[in-house]
Structure formats: structure tokens, C-alpha cells
Structure 1
Amino acid sequence: MKNESATNDSQLTSFVNRIINGDCIEGMKKLPAESVDLIIADPPYNLSKGKPLRWNNSVKLNGMGGNWDKVIVDWDNMTFQNYWDFTQIWLNEAKRVLKPTGSIWVYGTYHNIGVTNVLFQKLGIEIINEIIWYKRNSFPNLAGRRFTASHETLLWGHTGGGRRRYTFNYQDTKEMDCKEDLLKKRGKQMRTVWDIPNNKKPEELRFGKHPTQKPLRICERIILATSRPNDLVLVPFCGSGSECLAAFKLGRRFIGFEIEKQYIELTNKRLDYEKQNKKQTRLSGD
């Protein structure tokens, strides 16, 4: 077992604490089996369902409410079959690299979470919980033709079968001081509805932003609840790097994959700033 662990560590050296430019499926193929403790995935939601999505022209985005000023992105423009195949392939690789003691989190909305749910079951990823992330400050539905979309869904699963050896810091979740979460009282069990504002703090946007950037608060909650210090966190769809930054701040190692170079630059700026802050804190003796 020790020799196997040492081999995995040597194979991971060129990946750990780095954001790798490239497709996550090809990237994960290079990682050893059962080498990752936690996976946090924020995949494309496939909102456009194979139709052109000209976000720069403020075209209405069905289901999300109002006009959105975004960018054209090929990765969010698939037919249903292509999206199914893509999701199955990356989830299969994620399952391969995940330790039996690890777990996986996947974000989604009603546009895509059903595909993720079914494929979890098909691939033998047992669902531990479905989390509803309630966003009090969600974008209003300006068209007035449907209810305002005010939540996202997260599926939390593991691959260890009936033994359920995954990490869950139950007592820590009870004692978490979640001041902004009106549904969480300190000392009480954490429930499956999380009241976390979607607004990013000014320091989170200091170096730029990503269309689907997640607030650090939700990333930190996931990492604190389901990993241990020095665990390895894999982020297949890095985006602006909130999950990687949260992992670094909380003393975990990380591997990120991202296809867009501009977002790798953004993530590295955020990480460099946090590293400098830590260095200054150590020098001041705080």
C-alpha cells in the first residue's frame, strides 16, 4: 500500500497545486486511479440546448429570467445526446480517479441536473445528498412568464458502495458559524437547503470575473464538510478558480483543469494574491 501511495504521489507531482490548460477528460486520464480525495465539478449547464446563444447581444436566456450579457461559448451549446455522452465520459473518469474514501460534488440546474442524477446511478455513484442552494439575491424574471429561478442544485455522491467510507465532518458542520445563512443555527445539524447569497465579495472580483463564478462561501463549506487538511481536491471545470482558491486557503492541495487561458490567468492572479497575503501574515506574526 505504501509503495502504491508513493507511486501515485510521484505521478501527481506535475499536477498538484496547478491549473492545467486543457480538456478535463484528457487531463483526468493522466491521473492515477483512486488518487483524489474530493471532486467539485461545475460543468456546463447546456442552457442553450444546441441552439445559438449570442449572449453579447443580450438575448433572453430561457428559464433564467431577463436579458443576460455573456459571451459565445461552444462548451454550453450541445445537443441533448452530445451532452449526455460528454457528461458520461467525464463522470466515468472522475469515478476512476476518486478514492473509495472520497466524494464528488456536481452543480446544476433543472436544465442538466437530471442527466447528472441518472448517470450517477448508471455509473454506480451513490447519491449521499441533494443540496438546494437557495439564492436570496437571484436575478429577477423580467419576462414575467415563469417563476424566478432562485436556486441551484448540487449532487453529493461517493463510489465506496455500502461501506460509506467517505469523509464527512459531521460535528464541524454542526458548529459552523454561517452568519449569512438564515437557515443554519450554530450547534444544529446542517440541512440540505443552504441559504448562501450569490453575490461575490469585492475581493473575489478584484482581478476579473467569470459568467458562472461561484462565491467562495459555498466552496469553503463543501471543502470543510467533506475533506481533511492536505487532501487533494480535483476541480475539472476550473473557471475563475473559486474552488481551487478555497482549497488553498483551507490547507488542501488542488488540481484544476480549464480550457480557457484567460480564466487560468484570472485564477492564478487570485491564487498569487492569496499566497502573498499568507506570506505577509506570517511575517507580521499574526
Structure 2
Amino acid sequence: MELNIIINQDCLKGMKTLKDNIVDLIIADPPYNLSKGGEWKWDNSVKLAGMGGNWNKVMESWDNMSLSEYFAFTITWLTEAQRILKPTGSMWIFGTYHNIGIINVVCQLLNIEIINEVIWYKRNAFPNLAGRRLTASHETILWCNKGGKKREYYFDYEYSKNGNFDYDSLKQPGKQMRTVWDISNNKEKRELEYGKHPTQKPLRILKRMIQLSSREGDIMLTPFSGAGSECLAAKELGRNYVGYEVDPHYVDIAHKRLEHAMLNNQMNIFDSINKGEE
């Protein structure tokens, strides 16, 4: 298996080519199936008075399935993910109320163990535009393992208690990490420099998952790599990565982000060498 690569391919095809028990970590941000329902995202093109900003609709062909299609899709990709994940590995899955129930049920049908259900609280959540329901201010994250008689998954308990989490107002220093995370969805400038994805996740939450459940040198796979945030987070933490993405536009963004990070790393090494020679 070639490492440190993002492949412009449907993950359903790509994962089928991989051997059993070959990856240490999977971070999956599957389609939420929102396009059909006319959900909204932040944009600078359409002004909606009284709605707190400029918004337009997310309409993506890969995010528009019937209920039966989405259920079958979820069974297919999770079956492959379970097969390629090592017994010592973990899988993190993002979702919202639109799709996380289906994912939870499929995990149980496949005997994938759900270790924890994490609530990612987003204090800067987008408002409900119609004014007919509460503002959706969280996403759900399922932390899972392969399943089986033994619980062999890796967990860095020391990091979970004593890591640097000053960006999370709910994490108390020296205390066990809880299942509600207060992590801003705002991205740093460098995360959006080459473009963005409608459901792009901030690096800080991805790095938390990676450090909790993998070691340096491990292999992280992301079936829906989008703009490459999972791969970039893995790279910056010394993990290997493999990503699949069907849209060439997002593959291009991801490649540019990773190339930029590589150049910065080389420059930092060069600067360190020069300082050492002074």
C-alpha cells in the first residue's frame, strides 16, 4: 500500500484493494446527505436580511441520496473500513442528526463497537435561517473499534488527561477527558489558503483524535478526504496517511496544502541547521 498519498477515487473502490487489518486509524467524515433537504452554508454571495450573514445552499451530487441508497452506501463503506482496520485501531466518524442514527445502527449490525459518542459543541454555529427550530449547535462523533471479544484498541490515556487543551473551555487540566468537546469550528488562515470544503473540519479537533488513538508512524486512512485536513493533521503529527476523494477539485486543494506544509517543514529544518552552526 502506497503511503502519504491522496487518491482521486471513490473510497468504495479504493478500500476494496487493500489488505485486511492494514491501517491503525480511520477518520471518516461521510456525506451527511444534506443537499436534498436544502441545507445552508456560509458564503459571500447572497445576503439574507436578519439572518446574521450571507448564506447559500449546499448542493452537491455526492450528498444527495434516498434513504435506502444512503443506508446501502453506509453498510458498504463501513464493511470495508472494519475489514482493513487493525484490531488495535480506532475509527472516528463525524455526523449530524441527519445521518448519525443510520451510521450508529449500521455499526451495531456489523458488530463494530462504539467506544464513545462524543458531542462536538460549536459555540459559533450557524443560525436556523427559517426561524422554525432551534439552532443546531453540535455534531456527533462516534469513536469505534473493529469489534470482537478483546478490546485491543490503543488509547493514550495520559494525553487525554494532561495534554494541552487550552482551546477547549470544558476540558479541566489533569481530569479525565469527557465526551462533550467545546472546540471552535473557526479555521486558521492557513487552513483556507488554497480553498475550502463545505464540511471542512478544523485541524485542532482532528489532531485531538489522532493523538488520542494512534502512535507516531501509524497509518491513518480517511475515506472522504475532502480538502485534506485529516491528512495534513496526520502529517504534522508524524503519522502516515492515505486519503480517497472523488472530486478532483478538492484533491487539488489538498495537494497544495500538503505541499505547502512540506515546504514550510523543510524551511524550518534549514533554519534550525543554520542556527546550530552559528
Q: Which structure 2 segments of 5+ residues have no match?
A: none
Q: Which amino acid aligns with 2:141?
A: L
Separation in structure 2 between the aligned mates of residue 66 and residue 150 of structure 1, nearest angstrom: 17
Given the two structures, how large is their TM-score scaled by the length of structure 1? 0.89
CA contact (8 A) 2:111 2:147 kept: no
Q: Which amino acid aligns with 1:175?
A: N
RMSD: 2.1
The answer for the alignment partner of 1:164 in structure 2 is 151
Query: How far off its partner does 1:71 sit?
Result: 4.8
Separation in structure 2 between the aligned mates of residue 39 and residue 18 of structure 1, nearest angstrom: 15
Counterparts of residues 79-118 of structure 1 (less than 5 Å): 79-118=66-105
The answer for the alignment partner of 2:203 in structure 1 is 216
1:231 aligns with one of 208, 218, 230? 218
* Greater Cα offset, 68-77 or 150-159: 68-77
The answer for the alignment partner of 2:33 in structure 1 is 46
The answer for the alignment partner of 1:35 in structure 2 is 22
Query: How far off its partner does 1:175 sit?
Result: 1.1
Task: Indicate whether 1:267 and 2:254 are aligned.
Answer: yes
Q: Which amino acid aligns with 1:94?
A: A
Secondary structure at 2:117 match in 1: strand
Query: How far off its partner does 1:66 sit?
Result: 8.5
Separation in structure 1 between the aligned mates of residue 116 and residue 55 of structure 2, nearest angstrom: 31
Query: Deviation per CA, 1:182-237, whole angstroms, max 9, x where unpaired?
Result: 00022111100000000111111111111111000000000000000000000000
Separation in structure 2 between the aligned mates of residue 18 and residue 94 of structure 1, nearest angstrom: 18
The answer for the alignment partner of 2:163 in structure 1 is 176
The answer for the alignment partner of 1:276 in structure 2 is 263
CA contact (8 A) 2:35 2:58 kept: no
Query: How far off its partner does 1:45 sit?
Result: 0.4
Query: How far off its partner does 1:135 sit?
Result: 0.3
Secondary structure at 2:120 match in 1: strand
CA contact (8 A) 1:66 1:140 kept: no
Q: Which amino acid aligns with 1:141?
A: N
Separation in structure 1 between the aligned mates of residue 13 and residue 6 of structure 2, nearest angstrom: 14
Q: Which amino acid aligns with 2:207?
A: E
Query: How far off its partner does 1:142 sit?
Result: 3.1
Q: How many residues align?
A: 268
Query: How far off its partner does 1:134 sit?
Result: 0.3
The sequence identity of aligned pairs, in percent, is 56
Q: Which amino acid aligns with 2:154?
A: T
CA contact (8 A) 2:39 2:57 kept: no
Separation in structure 2 between the aligned mates of residue 266 and residue 113 of structure 1, nearest angstrom: 27
Query: How far off its partner does 1:143 sit?
Result: 2.1
Secondary structure at 1:157 match in 2: strand
The answer for the alignment partner of 2:137 in structure 1 is 150
CA contact (8 A) 2:40 2:55 kept: no
